[in-house]
Structure 1
Amino acid sequence: MKKRILIAPLNWGLGHSARCIPLINALIAHHFEPIIASDGAALLLLEKEFPELQTIALPSYGVSYPKKGHHFKLKLFQNSPKLMKAITAEKKATASIIKAFNIDGIISDNRLGVHSKEVPCVFVTHQLQVLSGNTTWLSTKLHQKIIRRFNECWVPDNLGDHNLSGVLGHVNMHEMPIKYIGPLSRFEKKTTPMKFDVLVLLSGPEPQRTLLEGKLLNDFKNFNGKVVFVMGRVEKQQHISEEKHITIYNYLTSKELEKVINESALIVARSGYTTIMDLTKLSKKAFFIPTPGQFEQEYLAKRLTDLGYAPSCNQGDFNLEKLTVISEYKGLNAMDYDVNYKKLFHLF
């Protein structure tokens, strides 16, 4: 019988579930049987990508963003009792799943309660350091305490100076085995004619996703060129609409999204880590608008701008004139990294 691996991404935007797709494909290719567990849009995305696999709904964390970015830490603090309750429920659910499905190993992408002492457990994260302003020391300490409960921590980045996560994914943690597995992406670069001048790639938790959607739809009404919006709203049915020079999709499957990104000259997107990995894999020109108040995205956007890869600005400051500086930046370049999955999966 194939060994069963429970793979559980966090439902916080679509990035965690999206970067689990290459891991799930690798598990299948190496004769494991992945069992997928998550909630909300993250679970729905993976159900659409892998309709043949067993999926399980986990308790939702139910954490939302504030409308104003500077209230982010306060909102997170207010949500902490709900979060702790969800993690406790998640632990109970994980124990039940291990017994019911004879699970042989766990891969948790930032789901804090998907862990067990009964089987080998992996934690996937690019945040060994969690930026939170003047409380970075505390948030980092708490996160590292959780990571140490797992047998291994897989960081989807390169080890060394040529990397994507910067200080987020490169700290000294001698107490546990960290493995750098290279940037993860579900996409492949393809040479294709440019069909769109700009792709607006929306993602991330509400209400900030919707706020940016409204702003950019209004801004790009006056754009002279072909624009495609992918809203990042995973729903049961796919919807497509066209208005003059703008084409709008509520969501795209991986193959469809890969095609559209390859066909687009410029990508406007959040500076989420999975988005950065994807656009790097496809060697794209990008403009980043970090989620207000999210220190991680603000750091990643500024870092890429300072290194000369991609311009960025705050959400409230964006206008079409900002795109004129694109030619001054070199764009993102693919980091080819061959993962030895046979060695990586030896833990199980």
Structure 2
Amino acid sequence: MKKRILIAPLNWGLGHATRCIPIIKALFTDGFEPIIASDGVALTLLRKEFPEFSSIELPSYNISYAKKGKYFKLKLIKDSPKLLKAIKAEKKAVAGIVETHKISGIISDNRLGVHHEKIPCAFITHQLHVLSGNMTWLSTKLHDSYISRFNECWVPDAESDLNLSGKLGHKKQLSITTKYIGPISRFTKIDIDETIDLLVLLSGPEPQRSILEDRLLKALKTFKGTVVFVQGIPEKHQSIVQKNNVTLYNFMTSARLEKTINSSKIVLSRSGYTTIMDLAKLEKKAFFIPTPGQTEQEYLAKRLNDQGFVPSCKQEDFNILLLNKTSDYKGLKSFNTTLDYADLFSLF
């Protein structure tokens, strides 16, 4: 019987789920049986991508953003008891899943309670430093205490100075075996005509996803060119609505989205790390609007802006003319790294 590997991404936007797609495919190719576990839109998306694999709903963290960025940290602190309760609940759920489904190994993408002491467990994260202003030392220490409960930590970035995550994914003192697996993406670069002037990609918890959507739809009324707008809302059925020069999709499957990004001249999105990896793989010009108050996205956007790769601005400062700045920036580039999945999966 094939070894069953439980793979469980965090439901925080779609990035954790989408970057698990190539890993799920590689598990199957290498002779394992992937069992998917998550909740919310992350689980919905993976069920659409892999209807042939078993999937399990885990307890939800129920994380949402504050309406104003300056309250982001305060809301996280307020929600921390609820978060700790959810981590405890998912750990209990995983104990049952390991027993009933005869799980041989676990891959958790930032789900802190998805591990089991009797089987090998890997934790995927690009945040070895958890940025939180003057509390970075504490948030990093707490995060590290959870990571230390796993057997290995897999960082989806290069270990060298040429990397995408900067100080987020690079730390001198590590508590467990840490492997840099290189940037990973579900997409492949295709040489096709760029017929879409602007592609808008949204994701992330509410209410900030909807706040940005409303702002952008108003701004795009004066944009001269073709626009494809992906809302990032996985639902049972795909919807396509035409509003003047904007074609609005609630979501796209990986194959459709791959072709759409390859066909786009500019991509406007949040500066989430998975999005950055995807756009680097496809070597795209982009414009980033980090989620207000989310220090990680603000850091990544500023770093790429300062390095001359991608321009960015605060959400409240955006106007459509700022997109003209993309012509003065280099755009993202591919690392062309090759991941030896057989070696990575030797943990199991």
State the TM bucket, normalised to the shorter chain.
over 0.9
State the Cα deviation string for residues 210-254 of structure 1 (Å, max 9, x = none).
Answer: 000000000001101000100000111100011221100000000
Which stretch of structure 1 is more off in the superposition, 317-326 or 40-49?
317-326
Gaps of 5+ in 1: none
CA distance in 1, matches of 2:132, 2:231: 27
Question: When the two structures are superposed, what TM-score results if normalisation uses the length of structure 2?
Answer: 0.99
After superposition, residues 183-262 of structure 1 pair within 5 angstroms as 183-262=183-262
1:298 aligns with 2:307: no
Q: Which amino acid aligns with 1:208?
A: Q
1:276 aligns with 2:276: yes
What secondary structure does 1:218 align onto?
Answer: helix
CA distance in 2, matches of 1:281, 1:200: 18
Q: Which amino acid aligns with 1:158?
A: A
What's the counterpart of residue 76 of structure 1?
A: 76
What secondary structure does 1:337 align onto?
Answer: coil
1:164 aligns with 2:177: no
The offset of 1:323, in angstroms, is: 1.0
Which stretch of structure 1 is more off in the superposition, 316-325 or 285-294?
316-325
What's the counterpart of residue 264 of structure 2?
A: 264
After superposition, residues 3-18 of structure 1 pair within 5 angstroms as 3-18=3-18
The offset of 1:174, in angstroms, is: 3.8
Q: Which amino acid aligns with 1:279?
A: L
The offset of 1:321, in angstroms, is: 1.2
Gaps of 5+ in 2: none
What's the counterpart of residue 97 of structure 1?
A: 97
What's the counterpart of residue 56 of structure 1?
A: 56
What secondary structure does 2:189 align onto?
Answer: coil
Rate the CA distance shift 1:41–1:174 in 2: closer, same or farther, 3 A: closer
The offset of 1:156, in angstroms, is: 0.2
CA distance in 1, matches of 2:161, 2:62: 36
Q: CA RMSD in A?
A: 0.6
The offset of 1:341, in angstroms, is: 0.7
8 Å Cα contact 2:232/2:250 also seen in 1: yes
What secondary structure does 1:265 align onto?
Answer: strand
What's the counterpart of residue 38 of structure 1?
A: 38
Q: Which amino acid aligns with 2:162?
A: H
After superposition, residues 120-159 of structure 1 pair within 5 angstroms as 120-159=120-159
CA distance in 2, matches of 1:18, 1:324: 29
CA distance in 2, matches of 1:297, 1:10: 17
Q: Which amino acid aligns with 1:218?
A: K
What secondary structure does 1:336 align onto?
Answer: coil
CA distance in 2, matches of 1:110, 1:243: 37
8 Å Cα contact 2:235/2:250 also seen in 1: yes
State the Cα deviation string for residues 120-155 of structure 1 (Å, max 9, x = none).
Answer: 000000000000011001000000111111100000
CA distance in 1, matches of 2:280, 2:203: 17
The offset of 1:175, in angstroms, is: 3.0
CA distance in 2, matches of 1:52, 1:195: 34
The offset of 1:339, in angstroms, is: 0.5
The offset of 1:92, in angstroms, is: 0.5
Q: Which amino acid aligns with 1:54?
A: S
Q: Which amino acid aligns with 1:262?
A: N
CA distance in 1, matches of 2:304, 2:190: 24
The offset of 1:170, in angstroms, is: 0.5
Q: Percent identity?
A: 63
CA distance in 2, matches of 1:172, 1:3: 34
1:29 aligns with 2:32: no
What secondary structure does 2:19 align onto?
Answer: helix
